[in-house]
Amino acid sequence: MNNEQYELSQRQNRTREHLKQAFIQLIKEKGYHAVTVKDIVDQAAYNRSTFYLHFQDKIELADDLLHSMLQGLEDSVGKPYVHGQKVYTTKLNFPSFNLVTYIYEHRHFFELIKYEDTLPGLHTQLPSTITKIYNEQFIFKTINDIPVNMDYFKRYTSYGFYGLIIHWISNDFHTPQEEFIQDVIDLSKTHIYSFEYVGR
Amino acid sequence: MNNEQYELSQRQNRTREHLKQAFIQLIKEKGYHAVTVKDIVDQAAYNRSTFYLHFQDKIELADDLLHSMLQGLEDSVGKPYVHGQKVYTTKLNFPSFNLVTYIYEHRHFFELIKYEDTLPGLHTQLPSTITKIYNEQFIFKTINDIPVNMDYFKRYTSYGFYGLIIHWISNDFHTPQEEFIQDVIDLSKTHIYSFEYVGR
DNA sequence: CATTAAGTGTCTAAACGGTAGACACCCTGA
DNA sequence: TCAGGGTGTCTACCGTTTAGACACTTAATG
């Protein structure tokens, strides 16, 4: 009764997820271009036919993977931030919490940013997605309401955040998540007065 | 051609794994006794019939989960310890490295030790398994070869190690794995001269 | 006390996801 | 020039999972 035709079954979703995880692993091991469909199904322990039931080819898998993760990143912002028993709403707190949490939860994917021969588009679309999020979902106030070109300001701060993320990932998340978030907040306080989630 | 009858297929293994993970999650949320088979299949997104194809009941699932994890812990000791590019053999290094690594990799499971209404047997069988490992797989030398009752000594040190593990888990693995291992080594040096893996 | 609601364990037919294996095709390197 | 290996497609089949029913137990409720 629940099988809406536009919706993949859990089983199919799981299979796709397994294939994606295998793909991520293989990109890290041998580089994007060297990975074959055969490699992927071997790694994930599926039949090659099964791959083609889900994706046209390696490129479609790569696109799907990239876009689903970036979409997830965008969607993560509005959700309440959960830590331990406490639930923080983004209204009251620093909104990029959720971005940080999302990235850490999906670190197997985001670690791909460390590699040269990696997912096509990742190095360009990750930063631009962060900028998009800053533009669409946040309202900033500068310290003392100093007037600025807000487009520039958001671009500047979003790339700053991106830089911190890259650093964090490159150092294998050595700084614990909590601490990293605090660092981000401290840095932001040098030039941002407030930071509010406005929904979409 | 590959279906040895004594070996579960990858698909079945995955299904069992999904059910186990759902079970772990639910025990944390509502306690072992409150978890129903229905809860498990809902959480894991399977049909209730499917559960009974794999397990007789909740108790068998619990037993399977507990024993497979403790077995994995025992088996982990002999394997080479991998960190970054380097591979350390247990001969040359501190053998409980592998225990620590295994526990951390399966932290979703081992976190169950924090709960009261948790997997039956976990609170007793985890420490006794560690003692068993110490007894069967390690040779100790005391500092200056001070003679001791080695059974007592192993029991003492294994429970000491267990205590550290509990602490580490209870603090949500706040200490990074590397650092924790170093702490374990430092503590051990106060009374253990050497520590060698002897296989089984 | 009777009645509902919810879970249990078992069974069946049917649906569906995944498999094996073959096909023609395209590269690439020896 | 040819062999080896990957690609994309197809088909018949297999085995896991599903839906849904069954009789049964247990706990809560009016």
| The 3-state secondary structure of chain A, one letter per residue | CCCCCCCCCHHHHHHHHHHHHHHHHHHHHHCHHHCCHHHHHHHHCCCHHHHHHHCCCHHHHHHHHHHHHHHHHHHHCCCCEEECCEEECCCCCCCHHHHHHHHHHCHHHHHHHHCCCCCCCHHHHHHHHHHHHHHHHEEEEEHHHCCCCHHHHHHHHHHHHHHHHHHHHHCCCCCCHHHHHHHHHHHHCCCEEEEEECCC
pLDDT tops 70 at residue A83: no
Amino acid at A93: N
Please tell me whether residue B12 adopts helix, strand or coil conformation.
helix
Q: List chain B residues with CB under 8 Å of A46.
A: 10
Q: Which two tokens stand for residue B12?
A: 């079945």
Q: Could you identify the residue written with the tokens 């040096």?
A: B189
Q: Could you identify the residue written with the tokens 């106060």?
A: B190
What number of C-beta contacts closer than 8 Å exist between A and B? 10
Q: Which two tokens stand for residue B70?
A: 């403790």
pLDDT tops 50 at residue A191: yes
Q: Which positions of chain D lie under 7 Å from any protein Cβ?
A: 5-11, 15-21
pLDDT recorded at residue A92: 40
Q: Is A45 on the interface with B (CB under 8 A)?
A: yes
pLDDT recorded at residue B89: 44
* Separation between Cα atoms, residue A143 and residue A153, nearest integer Å: 12
pLDDT recorded at residue B197: 67
pLDDT tops 60 at residue A72: yes
Residue B132 contacts by C-beta under 8 Å, 6 or more apart in sequence? B74
For the entire predicted model, the pTM comes to: 0.82
More confident residue, B9 or A169: A169
Q: List chain A residues with CB under 8 Å of B14.
A: 14, 18
pLDDT tops 90 at residue A114: yes
pLDDT recorded at residue B193: 62
Residues A118-133: what's their mean pLDDT?
Answer: 95
CA of B25 to C1' of C9 (A): 24
pLDDT tops 80 at residue A18: yes
Strands (E), chain B: 81-83, 86-88, 138-142, 192-197
* Separation between Cα atoms, residue B9 and residue B16, nearest integer Å: 11
Q: At what angle do helices B58-76 and B122-137 cross, to 10 degrees?
A: 30
More confident residue, A200 or B74: B74
pLDDT recorded at residue B85: 46
Q: For chain B, which ranges sit under pLDDT 50?
A: 1-7, 84-92
pLDDT recorded at residue B198: 66
Asked whether strand D has any atom less than 7 Å from the CB of B48, the reply is yes
The pairing of strands A86-88 and A81-83 is: antiparallel
Q: Could you identify the residue written with the tokens 């707190």?
A: A93
The nucleotide minimizing the C1' distance to residue A18's CA is: C18
pLDDT tops 60 at residue A179: yes
| CA-only gyration radius of chain B, Å | 19
CA distance A130 to chain B (A): 29
**Nearest-CA residue to the C1' of D14?**
B3
Asked whether strand C has any atom less than 7 Å from the CB of A49, the reply is yes
Which one of A2, A11, A28 makes the best mutation probe of the B interface by having the most chain B beta carbons within 10 Å? Answer: A11
Measure CB to CB from residue A45 to each of B10, B18, B174 and give the nearest one: B10
Residues A115-142: what's their mean pLDDT?
Answer: 91
pLDDT recorded at residue B1: 29
